[in-house]
Amino acid sequence: MIITEMKWQECVDFLSSHRLGRLACTKDNWAYVVPIHYAFAGNWFYGFSLPGQKVEWIRDNPHVCIEVDEFQDDRHWASVIARGTYQELPDTEEWHDERMRAWAALQDHNDWWEPGGSKPQSRELEVMPTVVFFRVIVQELTGRKAIGDAWKPEKVA
């Protein structure tokens, strides 16, 4: 199997063609990793969430990592890791344009809101919490891919 480093543009193209990743954050020396649906545009991940542990932790420590992968089999796969800084896009006049940019990028897919809008249900009725739009600016980007065998022996009769 040949494993190669992906160039920056390959990583960007890969991230742009996928929608599901894993976001990692830390607090008090504990790691927390959750799946997220995202849109990637420019140098930004855009996402949406309901308030919860992920949002609380990232508000305390905005340095995050997002991993996106694709697996065909043991010899054909790709993985991109982005490190960056989380930034909320509040529903204010100051952030209106950026929030609309996130909305537009996410709306390219008709089910973009489902994962971020899903929350374990309690038996008590709750008031719908305020949604959190966010972006992550990429500061480091690395990727690797496996492209199969370099050499295949001929079959011996």
CATH number at residue 24: 2.30.110.10
Could you tell me if residue 98 is inside a domain? Answer: yes
Is there a domain that residue 57 lies in? yes
pTM: 0.80
The answer to the question of residue 121 being in a domain is no
Decide if 122 is inside a domain: no
- Number of domains the chain is built from: 1
Residue 142 forms part of a structural domain: yes
Could you read off the pLDDT of 131-155 as tens digits, one per residue? 899 999 999 999 999 987 755 555 5
- The whole-chain average pLDDT of the chain stands at 85
Question: Quick check: is 95 in a domain?
Answer: yes
User: Which range of residues forms the domain containing residue 48?
Assistant: 3-115+127-147
Residue 108 confidence (pLDDT): 74
- 106 in a structural domain: yes
pLDDT in tens, 17-50: 999 999 999 999 999 999 999 999 989 999 988 8
Q: Specify if 120 maps to a domain.
A: no
* Residue 156: both structure tokens together: 């011996």
User: In the prediction, which pLDDT does 157 show?
Assistant: 52
